[in-house]
Each structure stands twice: as C-alpha cells, then as structure tokens.
A and B are shown apart, each in its own frame.
Chain A
Amino acid sequence: MIASAAQPGIFSLPDQWSASRDMRVDAGPGEFESSLKPLWLRAQAGDGAAYRQCLDLLSARLRGFFRRRLSGSPDMVEDLVQETLLAIHLRRGTHDPELPVTAWVLAIARHKLVDMWRRRGRREALHDNVDDVDERFLAVDPVDGGARRDLAALLRELPEAQRRAIMLTRIEGLSVAEASARSGASISAIKVQVHRGLKRLAARVRRDDTA
C-alpha cells in the first residue's frame, strides 16, 4: 500500500473506463476513498458507467467486510452484499456529497448486519458506536460467490407492472422511452414501477435473510 505512493498516476482517471483497471484492489482505506469519491460523484450526477464501477468496487469491499464478521456462514456473506447494494441504490439520496462515501457505505453495511443479527435472534448487544469510522474497509474479496437466491424467481413474485418495467429497462436494456412504447405505460409510470419493484425486491431479499 505504501508503494502506491510512488506511482501517483495510478489514481488519475484519464477516462471513465480506466478506474477499475488502475485502482489497485488492495488500496488502503484512505486511497480507496480518494479514488472512489470522484467516481461516485459522477455516478450521482447520472453517469451510469461510473455508477456500475462504483457498485463493483464496493461489492468487493463489502464482501471482505462481511466475511470477517460472519465467520461461520459463508452463504450469508453474498446475501448481505446484495442486500447492502440494494440499500445503497435505493437510499443513495441520503449521501451528502461533502462527506466521505466509504463512511456512508460502512454505516449502511453495519446497519444491515446488525439488522440481520437482530432478526435471527442474536442477543449480543453491539456496544460500539455503529457509525464509528475507525474500522474501515480493510480487506477486499473480489470473488463473486453467487448467492442462493434466483433472480427469475424473485422477479416472478413482483406485481405484473413492476416486473415488466424492470424486465424491459433493466434486464433487456431498453431505454425508458422504448419500454414505454413497448408496454403502453407512460415514461413516468415506468420509472415509478421500476423504483417500486426494486423496493419490493429489497424487502423480499431482507425477509429472505431471516430464513
């Protein structure tokens, strides 16, 4: 990690595609934040490719974070990673651009972890301040273990309008205008249905993690 200081160019982003190639996967917490922040700000402004890269980088960090705390249950790690990514997406309006992204993500990850423990009946109280940023993302695990849940099955449980909106825009990759033309629903209706569908998915995923 110290060696990266000798190559400052590694954190410059000449174009939006270089971030995941250049950012060393084991960059320390401070370096991670300083590389992630500009990418995240672009994502928040509407840059879809930057957003995808942010979620990729965060999923690797989250995996390491959860793995160190769920030593007995490797299955649950990927479930929690996905649940946290959904929460990050649905609540991204709560990030203040002045504040560090990693602290915000960490608070959400801890909240999800505590919530899962609580729902599974774990009685141990967590005495530390949940938003204490001493413990940052220290370890990284880029390997996507895949999770037990089946996306198709989850989508099938959604109401028709929500499932169709998600299938057309997010899975088949149509633009909102194309999806609107295809399905006959208005553009704003499509957007609302996608948002509601993702919220339903997140609630379903959260309920699943109690099983």
Chain B
Amino acid sequence: MRTDTLIEMLARDAGPVPRALAARRLAPAALAGLLASATIAVAILGALPASMFASHVPWSKVAYAGALALAAGWLAARLSRPAAPVERPRAATIAVMLAMAAIGAASLWAEPPGARLAALLGGSWSTCPWSVLALSLPALGATLLAMRGLAPTRLRAAGTAAGLLAGAVGAIGYALHCPEAALAFVAAWYTAGIALAGALGAALGPLVLRW
C-alpha cells in the first residue's frame, strides 16, 4: 500500500477531533471505580453507623482522598497524552500527600506522648492498606483500560498515576466503612494503601498500556 493512498483514506471525511478526550475517558472510569468501591465497602465490609456521618470521621478521609483523586486524575490525564507537560500535576499530587502528612504529624503532636502510638496504629492499621488496595482494583482496571484508548508514552509513570487515582478512589469507598478517627492514622495507612495501588499500577503500566 502506498503511503499516499493510506493518507487519502485517513483524511477523507475524517471530521473534527473530539475535545478534552483524556478527561472524557478517564472521568467515567474513575467514577465507575468509585461506585464499585463504595458498593463493595458498604455491602461486604459494612457501612459506618449513621451517627458517625455527622462527625468528621468519614469526611476527613473523603476530603483527603478526594483531593488526591483530583490531583492524580489531572496527572493521569496529562500522562495519557504524548509530550504533555506533567510538572504541575505531579507537584499537585505530591503537595496533597505532603499536606496530609503534615496534618497527621500535627495531630500526633497534639496528643499526649503516651497516646501517640495508639492513635497512629488505631485498631486496624495492618488491614487498612490492603483493604484500600482491594477496593481500588475495579477503578484501576477501568482507568488502565481507558488509558489504553488514549496515547500514553511514559508507561510506568502513566501506570503509577492510574494507580494513585484508583487508590484514592478506593480510599473514598473505604472511608464509608472505616471507624478510625485519628488524622495520623489516615495520613499513614490510607496513604500506604494508595501507594500500594500506585505501585501495582506502575508494574502493570508497561505491560498493559501498549498501543
């Protein structure tokens, strides 16, 4: 086949290009993942008692994970496009995590010294990261699939961003079940779970994101 024949075939009736493609593909994937995470958390793990929703307990986690999801989503969208700059979304993602770490450290400092370790570990520190990871899997699958239809050229980084986005989405779902109140707990163990999802995304990126 001659290249000019191919060009003719591609150009004829090609029409205008769809706008904001990355956002339009990634947002539904993240939302579907969020729905899955919330549903599984409530149905299988069990939701918090209604009274707790009047306290800060779930909302501080939703705020953190929500902010991280927006930043990581921005990063993932950029990494889905060839040669798009990523400095600002990457800085935003790191900034959200650092801010939460600072808030967690401050809240730990506010505790009397004998109570700090208990506050940090809570009652579920060893299961929390794995639960967040498990709840992030639907979002990770959907996000990686959406990315394959875009054009990531930095596959490990794109996979990491997809993982962080999925992890944040999983964390939002988990917040509907998790009774831990200490901000230090959230900063440590929710971030650990989100980081695990990021690492899984990094491993899968080079395998799954080829096009």
Binding site for B on A (CB under 8 A): 43-46, 48-49, 51-52, 55-56, 59, 78, 81-82, 85-87, 89, 91-96, 99-100, 103-104, 106-108, 110-111, 115, 130-131, 133, 144, 146-147, 149-151, 154, 166, 169-171, 173, 175-176, 198
Contact = CB atoms under 8 A, between A and B. Distances in A.
B4 A56 contact: yes
A87 B149 CA distance: 11
A7 B14 CA distance: 34
B83 to A, nearest CB: 4
Contact of B81 (A56, A96, A115, A198): A96
Given A147-B3, A154-B1, A93 B17 contact: yes
A106 B153 CA distance: 11
Interface secondary structure of A, over-half rule: helix
A43 B84 CA distance: 20
A78 B3 CA distance: 8
A167 B102 CA distance: 61
B52 interface: no
B9 A93 contact: no
Contacts of A106: 83
A61 to B, nearest CB: 12
Given A103-B83, A115-B210, A130-B153, A146 B10 contact: no
B3 A94 contact: no
B7 to A, nearest CB: 4
Nearest to A202: B211
Given A46-B16, A55-B11, A133 B3 contact: no
Contacts of A51: 10-11, 14
9 contacts: A87-B211, A93-B17, A96-B84, A104-B83, A115-B210, A131-B153, A133-B83, A170-B10, A170-B13
A103 B5 CA distance: 25
A169 B3 contact: no
A170 B9 contact: yes
A56 B12 CA distance: 13
Contact of A99 (B6, B8, B84): B84
A183 B57 CA distance: 60
Given A46-B15, A151-B5, A169-B12, 8 more contacts: A49-B11, A51-B10, A55-B7, A93-B21, A107-B153, A131-B154, A151-B6, A154-B1
Contacts of A169: 12-13
Contact of B6 (A86, A95, A130): A86
B80 interface: yes
Contacts of A95: 17, 81-82
Contacts of B83: 99-100, 103-104, 106-107, 131, 133
A87 B9 CA distance: 14
Contacts of A111: 82, 151, 153
Interface string B63-105: 0000000000000000011111100000000000000000000
B183 to A, nearest CB: 37
Contact of B13 (A48, A144, A146): A48
Given A59-B7, A86-B6, A198-B10, A151 B1 contact: yes
Contacts of A115: 210
